[in-house]
């Protein structure tokens, strides 16, 4: 994933989860609708934020094989 894309995804999910919190508290959207959003959104936000900030630039490494 490109860092720029990851940044956009992280921002999108973060903003969506944050903004929709207010209608949920106000009772406009149901618990499970907002819950489904969180179940999908929270891990995506977490990983996308990680990719946006700390994704490695160089070549990948081999797995650890013990020495």
Partner 1 sequence: MIPEILAALFFGLLLLGLHRKVVARIQKRPGPPVWQEFLHAAKFFWKQTWVPKTASSLMFVGIVLVGIGIWVAALLVVIAGGNILIIFGIYMLQKIVEHGFGLSSGSPYGKFGGVRSVISAASEIPLFVSVAAIALFTHSLALQDIVAYQAVHGPLLLIVPPAAFAMFLVLLSKMPGGPFSVVEGKELVSGYKTEHFGFFRAGLYVCDGLKTTVLLWTFVLVFIGGLPTAGFIIVMVILMIILSFTCALTPMLTPFDSVTLQTLVTGAMLVYVGCIAAMGVPG
Partner 2 sequence: MIAVGGEPFYYLEFGDIVLYFSPVTTTLFVLALLFTLFVLASRPERQVDIAFGSDAYLAKVITPGELHFRKFMATACGLASMGAMVTGDVFDFTLFASLVGITNIGIVAAVKNRHVQNAAYQYGLVSLSATVPLFSGAAMVAATTGTLSLIELAKGTYPAVPLAVKSFLVLGIIGEGMAPFYAAKAEMFRAPGAPYVIMCSLSSLLIFLRVVEIAMTM
Binding site for partner 2 (CB under 8 A): 62-63, 65-67
Give the Cα separation of 60 and 21 in Å (integer): 39
> 19, 27, 65, 67: which one contacts partner 1 (CB under 8 A)?
65
Asked if 19 is part of the footprint of partner 1 (rule: CB under 8 A), the reply reads no
**In this complex, which beta carbon is closest to partner 2, that of residue 57 or of residue 61?**
61
The option from partner 2, partner 1, none interacting with 67 (CB < 5 to 8 A, set by class) reads partner 2
21 class by beta-carbon count within 10 Å (0-12 exposed, 13-18 middle, 19+ buried): middle
Q: How far is the CB of 17 from partner 1 (least distance, A)?
A: 7
Query: Which is it for the CA torsion 47, 51, 55, 59, positive or negative?
Result: positive
């Amino acid at each position: 994933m490109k860092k720029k894309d990851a940044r956009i995804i992280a921002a999108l999910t973060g903003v969506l989860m944050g903004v929709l919190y207010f209608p949920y508290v106000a009772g406009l959207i149901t618990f499970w609708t907002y819950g489904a959003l969180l179940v999908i959104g929270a891990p995506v936000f977490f990983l996308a934020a990680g990719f946006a900030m700390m994704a490695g630039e160089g070549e990948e490494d081999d797995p650890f094989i013990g020495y």
